[in-house]
Structure 1
Amino acid sequence: MEKIADVIKYEGDNATFIWKHPNEDFNSLTQLIVHESQEAIFMMNGQALDLFGPGRYTLETQNIPKIGRFLKRATGDETPFHCEVYFINKTEQMAIKWGTDSKVEFMEPTYQFPIKIGACGEMNLRAEDSRKLLLKVVGTENYLTQSKLTQLFRAFLMTKIKTYLARSIRESKISIFEIDEHLQELSENLHKMLIEDFADYGVALERFFVTTIVKPDGDSAYEKFKSLHFRQYADIAEAKLRQQVGIIDKQTEAQKMVIESQALAQKRTQEGYTYQQERGFDVAEKVAENEAVGEFTNMGVGFGTMAGVGGAVGGMVGGMMNDAMGSAMNLSIPTPASQPAQTFCDNCGAKLNQGSAFCEECGTPVVKSNKTCINCGYEFERPGKFCPKCGTKREG
């Protein structure tokens, strides 16, 4: 019994871009079901008529049951109204492998020597323009899978990728010895360059990754410049390390000084004396180490110094030292009372000895004033019988 209507839906897998339903020349009233992330193209008499998005549709094909049987007899059991449906998978197809089939030759931008490299990676593709992809790539084929697409695009991919790869390395001046650090940059550059090329075939290049750069290990020129490059950067790294170690040592020394200073300040606070007081102790200790009074002068320490070097403690130490120094001075330096007063002759100016009645030089009599002590020379301020300075009996 001949079916009046069919149900047409997608029966492919996610690794397929375009899939043609095997049921052809179906009758009118056939139901077309299109899933999400899919599109369907209805072909009638060799022409792509309608593009269907997600949903359910009833197709009109001019193939009518019973009447179609009489028409087929006239054409040898073939309907004159040929029809078919293509399903297009709109999902993003990920991790599609690519790789150069031969080495890319270019001039190394840093050391300017010729070099050959290979490259490989992955890309994500998506069918964007269903009609363009079907008409330009699939044609009358029954399907288009990932492997078949990369096979059809192989020559296209190799030519474009190798050209763009060499150009990107040259324009970005990427050293072959540092190229692994720039894989993301290379991937982004190649992605931008390839987008329009894929779009010409109705394919969207969603992602493009360069995962591996195959270097010419063992090549004499490459190994020579590789050794030079890493030796140069090893020297730079060593110099930076030494500089950093020096900075760390200085920082450690400074931190140590800060810690010691803080500990000393805390100690002073706990012991109840200030920095000025501590300095008074230090100066007093230095003074005490000198036995002769004359050495205080050599040290530049005056008798009034100790009184101001350390606040309360310094004043106390300074007072004690002043008393000690005063006693030493009294013992070592004769007092004015022990020294006779020196007078001079009024006639010739010669120095007169104590108690002289006449000048030894000119014989002029010495005139004694009752206003001056004959012993110490003290000038009397008021009448009296004895000198208030030395106790000698006054004359007159």
Structure 2
Amino acid sequence: MGLFSFIKGQFIEVIEWIEDTDSIVYHFPAYDHAIKMGAQLTVREGQAAIFVNEGQIADVFGPGKYELSTQNMPVLTALKSWKYAFNSPFKADVYFVNTTNITDQKWGTTNPVIMRDKEFGMVRARGFGNYSFKVKDPAVFMREIFGSHEDFNPGQISGYFKTMIVSGVSDLLAESGIPIIDLAMHYDELSSQAGAKLQSNFAAIGLALTGFVIENISLPEEVEKMIDRRSSMNIAGNLDQYMKYQTAESIREAANNPGGGLAGAGAGLGAGMAMGQMINQMMTGSGQQPVSANPGGEAQAHNPNQAQTHDVPDKDGNTEQCGKCNHSLKANDKFCPECGTARPEHRFCHECGGALTPGAKFCSSCGTKL
């Protein structure tokens, strides 16, 4: 091989990028080799090729196949001051830019974002989701972001995107005025609004935001507990239903606490029910008792539900007494409170349990001697 053939073999004749990486930008490895005028440039769908002359962006090629010449490289021709039909080799850096959608990019709040809520006041919220983007203007992207790197991948700009997105979403949530507890039903609308709001930030660096999703906005644990309590009371509706709810909760907690068992749950449940009844009486007014004076002149509470008892006179006007011990009997006494003897009209057969008539010596039901 002669010297001229060797030198000619160093000229780049085919320029293309077969993508096998996740890079957004790929620097064609020309090194110090010159590019042959008339070389074949192949730009596939989803790509753009950019020629850079001494750090200055020159010509940009979209998808297609080109034979490099002064006619299709007007900027580079002007920069190099080439004459028409210039046919000598030249040096230039060639970069390929991926213009397809870059999907499944994650965003999230590193620290909680402080928000003002009408119902809960100042709260701290966290959010996360995903987004997708693509290079819309390769020349602007190269100029604003890429610089002089050899290659470029999404991870190198994810931190910038995250900061931009969190700031935009926080501002959007504050402007929306949507209560914290209602945010979940507005994720779709908020995602669309956030995408539109952030679009100009992406366009400024030659990109297009092609998709944006808010997956979740979470609240601090103490706020979630407050919401749980409020929803529990709403479910209860009134004190009676609330006590039923508390009963179920106590049983559930007891089942989850083998050491305590149902005994502890029963004690706590009893106290809770007693308190619930007291509160219910206070709210309904049923616990109020009128005050009356007793013969001694002292105020005494009167309970309308308490049965009134008095000594009952017999047919001769005398107070009725127990037939065994002569202890005075009251109207509602079925047995003598002193000796336990059954009242005549409340006597029962010890054999069959049948009611006995006063003065009977035999049971009228079974004939047993009394």
CA 1:56–1:162: 2 relative to 1, 3 Å:
closer
How big is each residue's C-alpha offset from its partner over 1:118-166, in whole Å with a ceiling of 9 and x where there is no partner? 1111111010011000111001011221212214x25xx32x3333333
Counterparts of 2:21 and 2:185, CA distance in 1: 34
Q: What corresponds to 2:187 in structure 1?
A: 183
In the alignment, which of 129, 133, 143 is matched to residue 125 of structure 1?
133
The within-5 A match list for 1:146-161 is 146-151=154-159, 153-154=160-161, 157-158=162-163, 160-161=164-165
Q: What corresponds to 1:139 in structure 2?
A: 147
By how many angstroms is 1:34 displaced? 0.5
In the alignment, which of 159, 163, 167 is matched to residue 167 of structure 2?
163
The within-5 A match list for 1:22-61 is 22-24=29-31, 25-60=34-69
Q: Which amino acid aligns with 2:209?
A: L
Is 1:230 the counterpart of 2:231? The answer is yes
By how many angstroms is 1:11 displaced? 3.0
By how many angstroms is 1:22 displaced? 1.2
Counterparts of 2:111 and 2:17, CA distance in 1: 39
Q: What corresponds to 2:109 in structure 1?
A: 100
Q: Which amino acid aligns with 1:225?
A: M
CA 1:5–1:198: 2 relative to 1, 3 Å:
closer
Q: What corresponds to 1:172 in structure 2?
A: 176
1:45 touches 1:82 (CA, 8 Å); kept in 2?
no
1:5 touches 1:29 (CA, 8 Å); kept in 2?
no
By how many angstroms is 1:115 displaced? 0.9
Counterparts of 2:63 and 2:168, CA distance in 1: 38
Counterparts of 1:212 and 1:223, CA distance in 2: 14
Counterparts of 2:166 and 2:57, CA distance in 1: 36
1:45 touches 1:81 (CA, 8 Å); kept in 2?
no
- Higher share of residues assigned helix: 1
CA 1:193–1:233: 2 relative to 1, 3 Å:
farther
SS at match of 2:127: strand
Q: Which amino acid aligns with 1:20?
A: H
SS at match of 1:57: strand
The within-5 A match list for 1:1-396 is 1-2=6-7, 3=9, 4-13=11-20, 15-24=22-31, 25-60=34-69, 82-109=91-118, 111-151=119-159, 153-154=160-161, 157-158=162-163, 160-217=164-221, 219=222, 222-223=223-224, 225-231=226-232, 233-234=234-235
2:12 touches 2:30 (CA, 8 Å); kept in 1?
no
Q: In terms of mean alpha carbon deviation, does 186-195 or 26-35 score higher?
A: 26-35
Q: What corresponds to 1:75 in structure 2?
A: none
1:27 touches 1:60 (CA, 8 Å); kept in 2?
no
Q: What corresponds to 2:285 in structure 1?
A: none
Q: What corresponds to 1:294 in structure 2?
A: none
Counterparts of 1:179 and 1:205, CA distance in 2: 23
How many equivalent pairs are there?
Answer: 212
By how many angstroms is 1:14 displaced? 6.4
CA RMSD of aligned residues (A): 2.6
Structure 1, unaligned runs of 5 or more: 62-79, 237-396
CA 1:127–1:226: 2 relative to 1, 3 Å:
same
How big is each residue's C-alpha offset from its partner over 1:152-204, in whole Å with a ceiling of 9 and x where there is no partner? x25xx32x333333333333332222322222122112111100011100000
CA 1:20–1:53: 2 relative to 1, 3 Å:
same
CA 1:5–1:17: 2 relative to 1, 3 Å:
closer
1:46 touches 1:82 (CA, 8 Å); kept in 2?
no
In the superposition, the TM-score normalised over structure 1's length comes to 0.49
Question: Which structure: larger Rg?
Answer: 1
